[in-house]
Amino acid sequence: MSEDRAAEMVARIARAMVAHPDQVSARVGEERGEPVVDLMVSEEDRGQVIGRGGRGAHALRTLLRAATGPRSAGGLGLRIVD
């Protein structure tokens, strides 16, 4: 799966989780030289995406890993941007 398609997949899933889906966007960026999907949501929805105990964020990372492979093999990570 291409990086752009992976970012769109994450954004589509996040839109289903939040109250303000029109404010969700995702793009591919870098963190410490590694490619990551930067997920931007409204401040009100950030807790909903992260979830209790980080379960929502963990689930998104698991789906991203399944679609792109592990980070050690060139897969994408996920960063929820403030």
Q: Say how many Å lie between the first and final Cα of the chain, rounded.
A: 26
Model confidence pLDDT, tens digit, residues 33-47: 889 999 999 999 999
**Residue found under tokens 């995406």:** 49
Cα distances from 34 to residues 12, 30, 40, 46, 63, in angstroms, run 23, 5, 18, 23, 18
> Which pLDDT tens digit goes with each residue over 61-72?
999 999 998 887
Q: CATH fold of 3-81, please? A: GMP Synthetase; Chain A, domain 3 (3.30.300)
| pLDDT at residue 12 greater than cutoff 90 | yes
Identify the sign of the CA torsion 13, 15, 19, 24: positive
pTM of the predicted structure, to 2 decimals: 0.89
**How confident is residue 82, by pLDDT bands cut at 50, 70 and 90?**
confident
CB-side neighbour CA atoms (13 Å) of 48: 16
